[in-house]
Amino acid sequence: MAKENIVMLHGQVQIPPKVYVNKDKELTKAVFAVKVLRRPLYNGQVLANKLYFDCPIIYTKNAIMIEQSSLLAMHDMVDIRGVLTTQEVLKITICGECGHKNSSKGNTVYVTPLYICRREQEITPERGLELLKERSEVSNLLMVIGTLCRDPELYTDERERASIQYQLAVNRKFRIREDAPETKTDYPWVKTHGQQAIKDAESLKTGSVVYISGSLQTRDITRTTVCKNCGAAYTWSDTAMEIVPYSTEYLEGCDLPEPSERPDKENINQEGGDTDAQKGYG
C-alpha cells in the first residue's frame, strides 16, 4: 500500500522552544508550539472570511532539528515541513480529594520536523496575524494515507449537526531514527462534519483505506478520572490534535454506492457548519 504522511506549516512561534540536555550536556530533545491558521469548508467551499487558530506541538529528538529549534524565539515566523506522529504515554493527574496520583494510558500527538526555517524575527503578534492571513493558504496543510483501525463513530450536536470521528493507522514513510526501530506506525484521529461525516459513516469501516488532504486541529478537552485510592471522580484539562479533512478519497475496502446511486461530485467532499470543536484557539 502507498505511504503518505506530510505536514506543512507556516506559523508564529507561540510557545518558545524548550531544549533539553543530558548529564553530558548533549542535546536530547526540543519542543515548541506554533500558531497557524486553518480555513474551514462549508458545502465544499473554503470560507474566505473564516479563519481558525490552531497551535500544533513540534517535538524532535534529532540533533540537527534541535539546533534549528534552539535558534527560534517567541513570535518568530517559521516554516516547518514534517510528519504527524503519535506516541502512547501515561498521563498523570492528581485527585483533588485525597492527593493520590492517578495514571491513565493516552496518546500524545505532535509534528516531528524534517525541515525548519525562520522566515522573520522580532515580529509583533499583530504583524504576525497580518502575515498569517496573507499566507493562510500555506499555513496548515496535511496529506496522509491511512487504514481505519476501528469503525467510525457518528454523533450529532444539540443542533443536530452530524460529526464523525475515526482513528487511522498510518504507516511511516520516513524513518524517525531516534524512535525504536519497531515503531513504524502512527495512530491519529480524524474528525469530519456535515455531509462529509454522513458519507464517511456510510462508506467507512475497520480496514478501509483513505487518502486525506486536510489540516490539523488543536483543541482543549475535559476528561474525567475516578481516583483509584478514594473513588472520587474529578475532571482535568487535556489537549487534542486531530486531522480535519478538506477532501477524502476512498481507496480500498469502502462501501461505496452503485454509480447510479452516487451523489453529484460536488456534494461528496462537504463539511457542515462551524462547530465549537472547529474553532481551535483564539
The predicted-structure confidence for 162-205, as pLDDT tens digits, reads as follows: 889 999 999 998 888 888 888 899 999 999 988 889 999 999 99
Of the candidates 148, 142, 155, 141, the residue with the CA atom closest to the CA atom of residue 272? 155
Mean pLDDT of 80-100: 95
Q: Which long-range contacts (CB under 8 A, 24 or more apart) does 19-28 make?
A: 19/66, 19/69, 19/70, 27/63, 27/66, 27/67, 27/70, 28/61, 28/66
Q: CA 192, CA 4: separation in Å to the nearest integer?
A: 20
pTM of the model: 0.85
Cell digits of residue 16: 518558545
State the chain's mean pLDDT as an integer.
87
Domain extents in the chain: 5-270
Model confidence at 207, pLDDT cuts 50, 70, 90, reads very high
Sign of the alpha-carbon dihedral angle for 236, 241, 242, 245: positive
Please determine, for residue 75, whether its predicted confidence score (pLDDT) is greater than 60.
Answer: yes
Beta bridge partners of 69: none
The class that CATH gives domain 5-270 is mainly beta
Output the pLDDT for position 269.
Answer: 41
User: Please, which residues have CB within 8 angstroms of residue 162's CB and are 6 or more apart in sequence?
Assistant: 154, 155, 156, 193, 194, 195, 197, 198, 201, 272
Task: Give per-residue pLDDT as tens, 98-144.
Answer: 999 999 888 899 999 999 999 999 899 999 999 999 998 899 999 99
Model confidence at 49, pLDDT cuts 50, 70, 90, reads low
H helix intervals, 20-142: 63-70, 125-134
Please determine, for residue 270, whether its predicted confidence score (pLDDT) is greater than 70.
Answer: no
Model confidence at 279, pLDDT cuts 50, 70, 90, reads very low
Cell digits of residue 28: 536530547
Output the pLDDT for position 168.
Answer: 97
